[in-house]
Amino acid sequence: MARPITLFTGQWADLPFEEVCRLASAWGYDGLEIACWGDHLDVRRVADDDAYVQAKLDTLGEHGLKVWAISNHLTGQAVCDDPIDHRHRDILPARVWGDGDPEGVRQRAAEEMKVTARAAARLGVSTVVGFTGSAIWKYVAMFPPVSETVIDAGYTDFADRWNPILDVFDEVGVRFAHEVHPSEIAYDYWSTVRTLEAVGHREAFGLNWDPSHMIWQDIDPVGFLWDFRDRIYHVDCKDTRRRTGNGRNGRLGSHLPWGDPRRGWDFVSTGHGDVPWEDCFRTLNRIGYEGPISIEWEDAGMDRLSGAAEAVDYVRAHAFDAPDAAFDSAFGSD
């Protein structure tokens, strides 16, 4: 199967694109999952400028890298979010933020995601990874009490805003892989079921599997892969280490910064946490996933230059291919 191992560039957007290409190539990555922020990828320019597209592809090629997916998490977040506030202003392109009027931001974000689909097609990429935002994440504690009608309306809002975007994805032959993640419309097992139902299980909408967000919620990442095996459109490798056994540290993080030992969990470099990677990779083999395995490197306690280099070696050693034949086939008389 020889699935490519890529580096997600979202956490590296402070570095020039060419420098990230140089580093990833030196570490032994096969390609990049390119983030649509920093100078890494401007989807408007990809959609309109042939020279810009060729320059990006040439830079990748010069370093022996390819691209199988692009990611526009930050803009996707604003499509459904309520409230829209200073957090969005700080992460969105100026053209999407505009005057900051919340509904205007949502509509401009939706248009930008349509452009992202077209940009992916222009790059020869079949998958866009990202977030959806959510009008109902703010109700996650369910207090003050929230009616079922309000929750239903949140899923309807998601479908109303994303179906026109997905129409463009269908038009250009690209799929959207939603990252199941707290603060999104699908953040755990059952909200993922509800989200897929909301858009009628249309093929344009699938999932980016990132087990790090499941571990601290006590969701089995292996079972998730199996149950949603027809919707796993992309894989991100990120790890989580739990520290909730001392009676003080809570799973909600206590508004403490990453890396603070009082937190109940932290993201850590792949292989340093509680994700059962071997079982995960075996299940990816079993469901026939042949796409990239993309390392999303986040670890507040480790230098990223050494961490990203170590992570690709870890994944390459553990993400073994499925066998060509059953091990007991040699027992047959034929």
pLDDT for 1 beyond 60: no
pLDDT per residue as tens digits for the range 181-237: 999 999 999 999 999 999 999 999 999 999 999 999 999 999 999 999 999 999 999
* pLDDT one-digit tens code per residue, 256-302: 999 999 999 999 999 999 999 999 999 999 999 999 999 999 999 99
Domain presence at residue 334: no
Q: How many domains does the chain have?
A: 1
Cα distance between residue 76 and residue 186, in whole Å:
13
Calpha distance 138→158 (Å, rounded): 14
| Within-domain flag for 143 | yes
Alpha-carbon distance of 16 to 13, in angstroms, equals 7
CA nearest neighbour of 160 among 237, 207, 107, 115: 107
pLDDT in tens, 228-247: 999 999 999 999 999 998 99
Structural domain contains residue 261: yes
* pLDDT for 333: 62
Range of the domain at 279: 5-329
Domain membership of residue 87 (yes or no) is: yes
Averaged pLDDT, 16-32: 98
pLDDT for residue 311 is more than 80 = yes
CATH code of the domain containing 81: 3.20.20.150
Global pTM reads 0.96
Residue 298 and residue 11 in contact, taking contact as beta carbons nearer than 8 Å = yes
Q: Residue 55 pLDDT > 90, yes or no? A: yes
Q: Residue 198's pLDDT is what?
A: 98
User: What is the pLDDT, as a whole number, of residue 330?
Assistant: 67
Q: Is residue 233 part of a domain?
A: yes
The chain-wide mean pLDDT, for the chain, equals 96
What is the percentage of the chain residues whose pLDDT exceeds 90? 95
For helices 73-80 and 148-172, the axis angle rounded to 10 degrees is 140
